[in-house]
Amino acid sequence: MASPLRIVNYAVNGSGAGHLTRLCAINRWLRRYTQVLDLRAEIYFLTSSEADGLLFSERFASFKLPSKTIVTDTGIDKITYLALAKQWVWHSLGLLRPDLFLVDTFPRGSFGELLSALDLCRHKAFIHRSVKEEFLSRPDFAAMLPLYDLILVPEYPQASQETPKGLRNGQLQYIGPVMIREQVECWPREKVRAHFAVTPEQLLVYVSAGGGGDRHAQSLLHTVCEVLLRRPNLHLVVGAGPLYRGPSLHGPRVTFLTTTGVAELLSGMDFAVCSAGYNSFHELLHAGVPTIFLPQEKIADEQDKRADLAAQCGAAFHLREEVGSPAFVHSLDAAIDSYLDDKKRHQAARAATTVVPSNHAREAAQQLLQLLIPSAQVRAAAEAVDDLFLAELGREEVALEQVCEVAQALCSQAQAESAIPLDTALALLRQSRHVRLPQPALLRILRQLGGRLGSGDLDEKGAAMADLIGQLAAFADWPGALSLLKQLPGERSLSAAQSVAEIKRLLSALKSRGHDLYQGVRAFSIAQADDGPAGSLRELVSAAIRNLQ
């Protein structure tokens, strides 16, 4: 068995959940592509974030270090913690020896420990989101960048900072904003409104302070909600975030959330009042949600610049006053009144989608995967998993892993095929669910039919198999079906459709005589003994039908 691709993500920085969410978004696509290509991939996260529940909900394995926040709160000695943290990172990388090491925001690491650790990794990549100039201009920051094989900027060139100097040609790539959900994965507006039990005359308003770890998060949420609730036609969804530790808010028009997984719900919001962190900003505008931005002061993140950009494009308001001050309440009231006007709200919604028109998480994953495998394989996976396919998965409520299992069983019958037959596999899964055929039994049937259905491409063989499964379902005996299929000879002269037509002749004869599939197995066995190994499928079926008589 081939060795797995080992991918390790470093999310040991910041007081929010932005770095973790961004890396999750990219790794969801890395996982999809490796599944489609039938590559074993082990994906790990090294993190100090207290929002690591996000990793569990997204089904990623993680190793957790206490955050700087909890270390301060509990009085743990900082020197001891620093020594422990550095050793923890070094030993983790020394044991895992990743094929790809992916770092977000801080190239030296949160403790300056990565300079002596990068040699433990086969390939290194850096996610270089915009940071404050004081960080970007530090000599130690700039000196680390050339040590990475690939630097991905998750922003558009016009919204990013000056290109760092001293990099190799092609080392730095602008890919555009990265978000954790694609538009096709977001809930329809009416489903969101039904989920929150919103009445037809109410507007749904999203209120958030980002991940909830900011020291002013409690004040912001409570003040904003107090102002909003003065309007009787508003229902508030408070995304407090997984890092929030203040008192919650409750009421008939308030839904309070501290869980992850809000991105797919934003498509149902009428407007929002929110901080301007990387993920909140891009997710809201990408979903077309007019937003009143209240930027937070962060160590490295420049939220003011993002809010200015959205306000200049007519997609948002940027409130600069101190939260809780009379001037702030006055400005917030005015912005809310503006978004209560349907025309102004819809204009802002259209402007929002022009600021963040696309999610580029898949492009980031493709760039990273090309460090590990040939570009042709990456292109094949990218072509196979497009938005139409994701939408179909959602409608069918089928996991990608299930489809990949079926596709791999199909591919084993035609190794020369370069296209990945996900659509064909999904159609077979749909048919098997319709006839109540368990997936393990479907996979055994596909493997039994391998090389026995004659000529044709994978689409033709898939259609023939779906037809045959439908005919076998009438007997309601899948063990018997597997026993019958084992008797089939390897067929080369007939097409897949012709081969299935011959098998259907035998099934029809069994049905008309009231026989079960084991009678067909017996008739086939006698026919094979009579005709010898050279008998074709058509000849064997004819002989088996005669034996039934």
Residue at 364 is within a domain: no
The mean predicted confidence, pLDDT, of the chain is: 90
- Tell me: pLDDT of 23 over 70: yes
Question: What pLDDT sits at residue 416?
Answer: 44
Same domain, 28 and 152: yes
Position 404 confidence tier, pLDDT thresholds 50, 70, 90:
very high
Q: Which of 120, 155, 174 is the last residue of a domain?
A: 174
Same domain, 117 and 10: yes
Domain boundary, last residue among 128, 148, 174: 174
156-206 pLDDT, tens digit per residue, is 887 666 667 778 888 999 999 999 999 999 999 999 999 999 999 999 999
Question: Can you tell me the distance from the alpha carbon of 239 to that of 273, in angstroms, rounded to the nearest whole number?
Answer: 10
Look at residue 93 and tell me if it is in a domain.
Answer: yes
Q: Give CA 15 to chain center in angstroms.
A: 24
Together in a domain, 16 and 144: yes
Same domain membership, residue 257 and residue 162: no
Q: Based on the domain organization, do 430 and 324 belong to the same domain?
A: no
Region 323-340 average pLDDT: 94
Query: Cβ neighbours of residue 170 under 8 Å, at least 6 residues apart?
Result: none
Using CA atoms of 308, 311, 315, 316 in order, give the dihedral in degrees to the nearest 10.
90
pLDDT at residue 117, as a whole number? 93
Whichever domain contains 248, its CATH number is 3.40.50.2000
- Are 94 and 63 within one domain? yes
- 134 and 52 belong to one structural domain: yes
Q: Same domain, yes or no, for 88 and 155?
A: yes
Print the domain residue range for 351.
183-355
What pLDDT shows up at residue 420?
84
The answer as to whether 376 is a domain residue is: no
Residues 409 and 305 in one domain: no
Q: pLDDT digits over 96-110, tens only?
A: 999 999 999 889 998
Give the C-alpha separation, 351 to 344, whole Å.
11
The Cα 55–Cα 43 span in angstroms is 11
The pLDDT, as a whole number, for residue 297 is: 78
Please identify, among 311, 333, 355, the residue that sits at the C-terminal boundary of a domain.
Answer: 355
CA separation for the pair 381, 377 (Å, rounded): 6
Query: Residue 424 has what pLDDT?
Result: 92
Same domain, 10 and 109: yes
381 falls within a domain: no
What pLDDT does 223 receive?
Answer: 93
Per-residue pLDDT at 232 exceeds 50? yes
Question: What domain count does the chain have?
Answer: 3
Q: Is position 39 within any domain?
A: yes
Same-domain pairing of 214 and 65: no
Give the full edge-to-edge strand order of the sheet including 271-274. 254-257, 234-239, 203-208, 271-274, 291-293, 316-318
Q: Are residues 122 and 230 in the same domain?
A: no
373 occurs within a structural domain: no
